[in-house]
Amino acid sequence: MLFDAGGNNGYGNNDYLYGCMKRINSTIAIAALLLISMTVWAQDLKPAKDKATKLFGYQDKSKNWVIEPTFNAAKRFIGGFAIVEQNGRKGLIDTEGAWVLKPEYDDIDKFDKAGLCEVMRKDGKTKLRGVANTSGELVIPVECLAVNINRSESLITAQRYVEVPRIGNKPMWGVYDFEGNEIFAPAFSSSPSFRNGKGIAKSAYDGLMGIIGNDGQTLLPFENLAVSYSGGGFNVLTSEFVACYYDSRMFKNSEFAYPGYVAPYDPASDPVRLAAWGNGVIGMRLHRNTLKAINIGQDSRGRSALCSDLRLDWNYGRFVRLEPCRDQEDRPGAMLNPEDGLFYTVKAILYEADGRFVEEVSRWGWLEAECADGIIYNAEGAETWIAMKDINCSARPSFSIQLTGYRQIDHSDVLGGLGLHSYDISRMLDPGYAARRCSEIRQAENVGISSYLPRPAPDLKNIRIIDNAMRLPLFRHHFGMGEVVNCKVKASENGADLELSDRLILPFEDSFSDTGFSMKGEEEIYWGPNNARTVMLSLEPAEGGKNAPGTSDDVFGSERNFVIVIALYEEDGSYLRTLGVVPYVDYASSDALVFDRLGIALVNRPGQRSIRNIPAVPANLSALKNLTPDFRHRR
C-alpha cells in the first residue's frame, strides 16, 4: 500500500469526479469556440520590428500597429495566442496584447484543443515544467520535472519531488485532471499509462505494478511483476509468478501458476533486512546437507569440527534461512543498528520447499565466526551450527572438517555482525534503491523459473523417430552430481582441451511475452537434499524444420533436424527442469561429452580437472549412435 504526500493511506480520494468531468467538457467546448474566433482575427496580425526601437509588435494588413512594439522577440499568432519575449523570458499574449502568461518562462508550447499548454522555467541546470490554460491559470504549478497531457483521457501525469524521511526529495509521478485536481498523489516510478479510463502504474516504493482508474480507485493492487494491455483487458504476471488475464470489467478470466516458484526472502520494508540479504549466508536457502550442528575441537592441525544432522523436521525439500530481525527483548548477542538505535538478532526460520513459513527453529542468535567452508551460527546460546557455503556439500549424516581460515565475528553492531557498511543501510531508505533491491531479491530467488515448464510433446510424425533414437545408450544414461560440470574449451588441432570445474552454474533467461516481462541471471544447480538428482539427454524436433540448425536425421529418413535437451530429474525420476537446449554435441570421447555453447561437460570421472584431445562430433544421428562413453553412474 502506498501513501500520498499528506500521509493518507491510498492513492486518491475523488468524490468530485462526476461534476468535475461535466465542468471539464463544458470548459473544453467553450475554449474550442474561443480559439476558433480568435484564430480568424489573429490571422490578420503579423509580428513586425520597429526600426527605431528595435522592438517587436504586431501589425494588421495595412501595417498599422495593433499591438505596440514592446517585445524583444515575437512569434506568429497560433490559435489566438502568440509567444513573445521580454528581458530574456517568454510569455503569452492574446490578440489584444494582454498578458495571458506573464514573461516568466524559458519555453512555452502552443495551446492544444483542450486549451492547455506546457510551460518551462529553468532553475539552474534543472528544467521545471507545468501546465497552463487559456485563462492564464497554472493548472499544474511550474515545479515538475516532467508533465504528460493525455488528451484522450482528460488527464495529466506529472513528475515532482516527494519528501522521503531521512533521505530528502525524490521524484515520483502523480495523476491530475484538467483542472489540476489531484487524482493520485505522486507515488509512481514512471508515468502511468491510461487507456479507456484505466491505467497501468508502477509503485516507486517497491517496483511492483498495479492498475488504477481515472476515478482515483486502485483496481488491481500493486502486487505484480508486470501488467500489459491485451485487447480490452490486461495480462498480469503476479509476484508469485502466476499469469492472469483480467477483462475490461476487471474480472479474472484465467490464471496459470508457473511451477518451481519459491516465495523469496521478505525484506519487510526494513533497511537492515534489505541491506543484509545476499551478504554471506543471510537469505541463502540452507538444506539438510548444508546446515549442520557442529562440535568444535582442537587438534594438531588447528580447529576442527564434527558435523552432524540438526534435529529438525526437514521433510522433503524444506530449507532454513538465517534472517536478521528486530530484537525487542534484549536477548544475548543483540546487534545495534547505529543508524537508528534499534537492535537486531539473527533468527533461523524453517520454510517449505516453495518458501511457505513453517516455524522459527532458532528464535535468536548471532553469527559467531567464519571459515573457509562456511559461517558459524550460535543458535539461542545452546547450539553451534555451520552454514556451508557450498550448496552441494556432502549429504552424509556426519563428517569432520578442518576450520581453516577461522575468524571470530564482532557482532556488537549490525555492521560487523552482518558484514555491512553504514551506507549499505542508509541507502535502503531511498525508495529507488529499495525498489531495485526488492526486484533483485524476487528475481534472484526465481531466476530460471520458466525452465520448470514441461517440454512440449512431439507431433505424431516425429514420435516414432524420437522413440527409436532415444534407445541409444547416450539417452538412457543418468548423469549424477560431479559428472555434469562447467568447462572451458580450448580448441586444438587434435580436437579440444577441457578445463573442468567441480560445480555446475548455468545462465537462465526467462521471457513472458504476454506481459513483456523478462529476467536473466546465473544459478548454481542444486542436486537435491540427498545429492541424488540426475541429468538426462533427450531429443526434440528443431523449430524451423529441416533447415533449422540441429542434429540431422541420417538414420531413419525423416529429413528432420533435432535439438538435444539437457534436463534435470528428481531422485524418483520425475522431470524437474530444463538446463539447456543445444543443436548438437560439440566434442565427445570415452571421457567426456562437451556442449560448448552452454559451457557444460559430462565426464566419467568426477573430480578430474582437465581432459585433452577430445575430437569433434558430426552433427547427425549416426554420430550419436556411435557415442557409447564408458560412464558408470556413481552412488
The pLDDT, as a whole number, for residue 635 is 35
Whether 633 shows a pLDDT value over 60: the answer reads no
Mean pLDDT of 585-603: 94
User: So what's the pLDDT on residue 628?
Assistant: 61
Based on the domain organization, do 560 and 614 belong to the same domain? yes
pLDDT tens digits for 352-389? 999 999 999 999 999 999 999 999 999 999 999 999 99
Q: Which of 595, 597, 579 is nearest to 587 (CA)?
A: 595
Confirm if 504 and 486 have CB atoms less than 8 A apart.
yes
Please report the pLDDT score of residue 438 as a whole number: 95
Give the range with max mean pLDDT: 247-251, 458-462, 604-608: 247-251
Within a domain: residue 188?
yes
> Worst-scoring range by mean pLDDT, 16-20, 62-66, 355-359, 607-611?
16-20
Do 312 and 365 lie in a common domain? yes
In a domain, 450, yes or no: no
Model confidence over 456-476: pLDDT tens digits?
Answer: 888 887 888 888 888 888 898
Please give the residue that has the higher pLDDT: either 342 or 23.
342
Model confidence at 495, in pLDDT bands (50, 70, 90)? Answer: confident
- Of 248, 283, 314, the one marking the end of a domain is 248
Residues 437 and 464 in one domain: no
In a domain, 11, yes or no: no
pLDDT tens column, 298-341: 877 789 999 999 999 999 899 999 999 999 898 999 999 998 99
pTM of the full predicted structure? 0.85
Say what the pLDDT of residue 387 is.
Answer: 97
Identify the domain containing residue 433 by its residue range.
271-444
Question: What integer is the mean pLDDT of 209-213?
Answer: 98
**Structural domain includes residue 257:** no
> Mean pLDDT across the stretch 249-261?
95
CA-wise closest residue to 321 among 273, 375, 284: 284
Q: What are phi and psi of 255, to 5 degrees?
A: -155, 150
pLDDT number for residue 17: 43
Domain's final residue, options 413, 444, 475 = 444
Average pLDDT, the chain: 90
Q: Report how far residue 130's alpha carbon sits from residue 568's, in angstroms, rounded to the nearest whole number.
A: 57
- Is there a single domain that holds both residue 286 and residue 433? yes
| Residues 6+ positions from 598 with CB-CB distance below 8 Å | 506, 566, 579, 580, 582
Q: So what's the pLDDT on residue 572?
A: 94
Residue 266 lies in a domain: no
- Which H or E run contains 83? strand 82-86
The reply to whether 483 falls in a domain is yes
Is residue 205 located within the same domain as residue 299? no
State mean pLDDT over 561-567. 95
